[in-house]
């Protein structure tokens, strides 16, 4: 039957998958859990050939369960979940996990209209879980973590859809007069998969919109970009190593421009200026030629006047660390600077041999 009518067979499997979810069946036992895992595995296999159909079906299930779950969410942290709430929550966990696996199985970004539309709808649903703010609620935290994994997998193969949403929100915020705007779409930057080309694209977009944004939006954007760079280094360490050996001119230009923007925009606000330090140090790390010149200047080597501002920044950070109980992230990036000096010293020693 699957060979003769694959669409109908896939729809039947999606319906069966939903019928086996805890919000329909109640608490799972060993047998029902095995059935659910088998059904999930079949859906993943089918998604490789009927991606739009499976993603659309899972997204609709996610919508239905979430609509039922949202009214039951309690702000009371200590109250245990009712059986009904647990059924909704566990069902969301299963659906989000299945979506992540299906999305991870896709080979590349899509140009098909139906797939692009399904991804946009899914993205809208996933953003609701990213926006769950009650960190002390363990259930919300788990859903947020799973949603971030879905977003990471989605952005790997459908980056344009995610990027366009981020870009559109930046444009809206640039012309918005809202007192308390929603920054969720900007925070998506923290969770997406970026290689060096995508990172350059994100930095370029941020630079273009930066001066038009309010200070509160600056803080969110800066924090998100910092995490995006950490994610890039963690996911594509070979690209980071390549940048250190052979600097990417386009990336260096973006980092140089954004560094100066941060330095100029927050020069009069000490508290906000300190909050910019982690990203600024990361930007210097991605601009190794400039960083090398600054480091060598400590030994008496000449430093270009256009890099004087950056050298003063490094000196300020070092002084600040002795006066402030700064966050661990800043200490880590300072350690990176020390490692950078050590690596270059070793390279010089090996060359002299």
Model pTM? 0.81
Of the chain, the percentage scoring pLDDT greater than 70 comes to: 78
Q: Which of 247-256, 271-280, 310-319 has the highest mean pLDDT?
A: 247-256
User: What is the average per-residue pLDDT within 104-123?
Assistant: 71
CB-side exposure of 182: number of CA atoms within 13 Å? 12
Give the pLDDT score at 313.
Answer: 81
Alpha-carbon Rg for the chain, nearest whole angstrom, is 24
Per residue in 310-332, pLDDT (tens digit) is: 877 877 777 766 555 555 455 55
How buried is 331 (Cβ within 10 angstroms: 0-12 exposed, 13-18 middle, 19+ buried)? Answer: exposed
How far is CA 27 from its chain centroid? Answer: 33
Give the pLDDT score at 228.
Answer: 95
pLDDT greater than 80 at residue 160: yes
Give the pLDDT score at 31.
Answer: 82
Give the pLDDT score at 5.
Answer: 73
Asked if 194 contacts 231 with a C-beta cutoff of 8 angstroms, the reply is yes
Give the pLDDT score at 17.
Answer: 93
Give the pLDDT score at 21.
Answer: 93
Per-residue pLDDT band at 30 (split at 50, 70, 90): confident
pLDDT greater than 80 at residue 127: yes
Asked if 171 contacts 122 with a C-beta cutoff of 8 angstroms, the reply is no
Per-residue pLDDT band at 351 (split at 50, 70, 90): very low
User: What is the average per-residue pLDDT within 234-238?
Assistant: 92
How far apart are alpha carbons 286 and 253 in whole angstroms?
10
Report phi then psi at 347, rounded to 5.
Answer: -60, -40
Residues 6+ apart with CB under 8 A from 151: 123, 126, 130, 162, 188, 191, 192
- Cα–Cα distances in angstroms (integers) from residue 270 to residues 267, 276, 305, 315, 318, in the given order: 7, 10, 24, 15, 15
Question: What residues does each domain of the chain span?
Answer: 1-157, 191-353
Per-residue pLDDT band at 254 (split at 50, 70, 90): very high
Give the pLDDT score at 188.
Answer: 94
How far apart are alpha carbons 19 and 272 in whole angstroms?
51
CB count, 10 Å around CB of 304?
12
Answer with the residue of higher pLDDT: 39 or 270. 39
Report phi then psi at 74, rounded to 5.
Answer: -110, 145
Asked if 17 contacts 43 with a C-beta cutoff of 8 angstroms, the reply is yes
Supply the DSSP string of 49-62, one letter for each residue: TSHHHHHHHHHHHH
How far apart are alpha carbons 139 and 129 in whole angstroms?
11
User: What is the average per-residue pLDDT within 5-17?
Assistant: 86
């Amino acid at each position: 039957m699957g060979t003769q009518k694959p669409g109908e067979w896939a729809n039947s499997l999606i319906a069966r998958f939903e019928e086996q979810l805890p919000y329909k069946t109640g608490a799972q036992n060993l047998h029902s859990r095995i059935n659910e895992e088998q059904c999930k595995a079949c859906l993943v296999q089918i998604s490789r050939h009927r991606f739009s159909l499976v993603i659309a079906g899972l997204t609709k299930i996610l919508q239905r369960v979430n609509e039922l779950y949202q009214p039951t969410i309690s702000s009371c942290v200590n109250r245990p979940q009712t059986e009904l709430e647990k059924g909704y929550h566990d069902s969301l966990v299963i659906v989000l996990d299945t979506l992540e696996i299906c999305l991870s199985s896709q080979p590349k970004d899509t140009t098909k209209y139906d797939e692009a539309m399904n991804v946009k709808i899914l993205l809208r649903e996933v953003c609701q879980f990213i926006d769950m703010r009650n960190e002390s609620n363990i259930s919300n935290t788990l859903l947020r973590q799973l949603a971030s994994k879905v977003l990471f997998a989605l952005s790997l193969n459908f980056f344009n859809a995610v990027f366009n949403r981020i870009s559109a929100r930046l444009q809206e915020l640039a012309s918005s007069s809202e007192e308390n705007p929603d920054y969720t779409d900007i925070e998506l930057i923290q969770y997406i998969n970026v290689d060096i080309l995508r990172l350059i694209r994100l930095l370029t977009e941020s630079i273009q919109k930066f001066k038009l944004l309010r200070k509160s939006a600056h803080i969110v954007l800066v924090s998100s970009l910092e995490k995006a760079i950490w994610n890039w280094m963690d996911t594509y360490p070979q690209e980071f190593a390549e940048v250190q050996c052979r600097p990417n001119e386009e990336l260096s230009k973006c980092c140089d421009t954004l560094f100066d923007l941060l330095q100029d925009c927050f020069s009069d606000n000490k508290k906000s200026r300190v909050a910019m330090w982690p990203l600024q140090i990361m930007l210097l790390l991605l601009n190794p030629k400039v960083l090398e010149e600054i480091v060598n200047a400590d030994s008496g080597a000449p430093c270009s006047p256009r890099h004087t501002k950056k050298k003063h920044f490094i000196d300020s950070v070092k002084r600040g660390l002795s006066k402030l109980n700064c966050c661990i992230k800043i200490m880590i990036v300072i350690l990176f600077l020390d490692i950078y000096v050590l690596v270059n010293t070793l390279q010089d020693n090996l060359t002299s041999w």
